[in-house]
Amino acid sequence: MGQEIDEARFSRQDFTTFHQRLSEETALLATWFKQDRFDPGPPVAGFELEAWLVDARLRPAPVNAQFIERLGSPLVFPELATFNVEFNIEPLPLRGHILSRMADGLRQTWRQARRTAHEMQLELAMIGILPTVRDADLSPANLSAMNRYHALNAEILRLRGGRPLRLDIHGHDILRAEHGDVMLESATTSFQIHLQIPPQLAVRAYNASIIASAPLVAVSANSPYLFGHDLWAETRIPLFEQSVEVGGYEEDAHGPMRRVSFGSGYARATLQEVFTENLEHFPVLLPVLFDEPPERLAHLRLHNGTLWRWNRPLIGFSDGRPHLRIEQRVTPAGPSVADTVANAAFFYGLCQALSQRPEAPETRLPFATARDNFYAAARHGLDAHITWLDGNKQPAQSLLLKTLLPLAAQGLAALGIDRGDAEHYLGIIESRVKNACNGAAWQRAYVARFGPHMPGLLAAYLERQESGLPVHEWDI
């Protein structure tokens, strides 16, 4: 979905032709898996970080086109809404000093972007859900001027038969609302972690990423407030799932046929299973016809980009050769650059350790349990209870400190990550857990002391974000 498209309106024949090409490319991909055509190189890391543009009143500032043009960075792109932007990093080998390099690269781009924002009397916010966003801000008038976003909105509403999207989120408070378009999605800003893996490790790494989702969202939760309501620790999860629901699928909120979901199960033989499921179970949303050879998989990749599993396999190309990537999507943006890189370090280390265990963890943790863990962690954050291998249920904090952080350290060492870098960034996670202070906990503690004044909360958050300190060191 990162690519622009030429058309925003489609004919019935467009859908028919697209589906034919999608079928051909899915069959071709299956052949590639059988022939082991994918890049066998060592792991490569990358990320996408979404952020908010905020005006002097601490409200969303719908000016991303002007901001991006003035910034002039090849690493910053528009997002769905005109008040969101996306930061990227060049992919890097997952070894050595990659963590400090990621931090330095992001910090440099972020500082440059903040200078540009200040020149425009704006501020940048790295946070899962902006506390001051209002339902009125999430309107089609603030849809970015790119065909792909307008087409996405039109097709989702078409599949819903024009019925409004319904929010129904039960947390500390209850929020029920209706919305007439997909702009609710733009209230969810993420830190999406990419991991390119060799094909022989793909199934184990994908399943490990699924298992890691619950502890990762527990430590990183940063989205407790929406429209002034205190909901889940990571409200971004139910909000995104409900914001692009097209209807016509299973009624179970965790069912496998929803476009945003935890998925339908672990991979068994190859990641081809996911792309076959894409073809067989999900209607085409954007039937853009590309004048490219089937070997570029243009239609398959676009269709995959309209399905938002929290762990999503991707196909890319390096020097013309296809490669496999896992996109871990559960982590929110923020609170700081240090926290962001610490979240990535924890994920990379834990995923590596789990995927290298002699006995595959997915044989000892049913998929349904991994899914239940994920939603419990999104709802309760570090207060969640997580069921680990062989049915061992325990508080998230003790599981993280006794089991998962040591595993992540082992994984980073196995990857050849610089020891000082690993200790520094996993140390941030450890301190965050020991202090029970992720972004969501800090926001709630601030509101408990000063009251539910969302502009005041955001002002305090931005002041501390600017310090560069990790969130467990923020005062109230």
List beta partners, residue 96: 417
- 125 vs 320, more confident: 125
Mean pLDDT of 181-205: 94
pLDDT number for residue 247: 59
pLDDT number for residue 151: 80
Query: Within 10 Å of residue 291's Cβ, how many Cβ atoms?
Result: 5
Whether the per-residue pLDDT at 162 is higher than 80: the answer is no
Residue 40 DSSP symbol: -
pLDDT number for residue 3: 53
pLDDT number for residue 233: 98
Q: Indicate the pLDDT class of residue 253, thresholds 50, 70 and 90.
A: very low
DSSP secondary structure, 326-363, as one string: EEE--PBP-S-HHHHHHHHHHHHHHHHHHHHSSS-GGG
- The alpha carbon dihedral of 411, 417, 423, 425 has a sign of negative
Rounded distance between C-alpha atoms, residue 47 and residue 87, angstroms: 8
Chain segment 211-246, per-residue pLDDT in tens: 999 999 999 999 999 999 999 999 999 999 998 877
Mean pLDDT of 439-444: 98
Mean pLDDT of 126-133: 98
Contact 159, 213 (CB under 8 A): no
Chain segment 299-308, per-residue pLDDT in tens: 999 999 999 9
Rounded distance between C-alpha atoms, residue 201 and residue 198, angstroms: 6
pLDDT number for residue 4: 46
Element (H, E) at 396: helix 396-399
Whether the per-residue pLDDT at 412 is higher than 90: the answer is yes
pLDDT number for residue 144: 78
pLDDT number for residue 23: 98
Rounded distance between C-alpha atoms, residue 419 and residue 416, angstroms: 8
- The beta strands (E) that lie in 29-73 are given as 44-54
Mean pLDDT of 26-37: 97
DSSP secondary structure, 235-272, as one string: THHHHHHHHT--SSS-SSTT-TTSSEES-SS--SS-TH
Q: Indicate the pLDDT class of residue 157, thresholds 50, 70 and 90.
A: confident
Domain boundaries, the chain: 12-468
Chain segment 82-114, per-residue pLDDT in tens: 999 999 999 999 999 999 999 999 999 999 999
Q: Which residues of 182-196 are buried (b: 16+ CB within 10 A; e: fewer)?
A: bbbbbbbbbbbbbbb
Rounded distance between C-alpha atoms, residue 120 and residue 112, angstroms: 13
Rounded distance between C-alpha atoms, residue 439 and residue 445, angstroms: 10
Chain segment 357-404, per-residue pLDDT in tens: 999 999 999 999 999 999 999 999 999 999 999 999 999 999 999 999
List beta partners, residue 57: none
Mean residue pLDDT across the chain: 93
Beta strand 123-125 pairing with 44-54: antiparallel
pLDDT number for residue 206: 98
Rounded distance between C-alpha atoms, residue 23 and residue 18, angstroms: 9
pLDDT number for residue 255: 38
What topology is assigned to 12-468 in CATH? Answer: Creatine Kinase; Chain A, domain 2 (3.30.590)
pLDDT number for residue 62: 97
